Amino acid sequence: MRAGIAFALLLLLAACAGAPGDRAWYEGLRQENARRQYEPGRDINREPPAPSYDAYEQERQRLQKEARP
């Protein structure tokens, strides 16, 4: 029984260890969206580029501080 629980916990930890951090995920998503902006067949009206992760994090923290009483 303990071996099964330990194995499940090991699998969970291995899955978490392979996941990218917030910054890497956000930057990867931003780069992919920027790349897709210039694919052939896209509309001429282009979306503005997404803010950097640092700007995103600062805005997120500002909004969290405003939400607190």
Secondary structure letter of residue 44 according to DSSP: S
- For residues 32, 33, 34, 35, the Cα torsion angle rounded to the nearest 10 degrees is 50
Domain holding 23, by residue range, is 2-40+49-67
Confidence check: pLDDT of 64 > 70? yes
Q: What is the pLDDT of residue 62?
A: 92
Query: Which tokens belong to 21?
Result: 């951090």
Instruction: Kindly report the average pLDDT of the chain as a whole number.
Output: 77
How far apart are alpha carbons 19 and 54 in whole angstroms?
20
- Total domains in the chain come to 1
> In which band, very low, low, confident or very high, does the pLDDT at 17 lie, cut at 50, 70 and 90?
low
Tell me the mean pLDDT in the region 44-65: 82
Which residue type sits at 18?
A: G
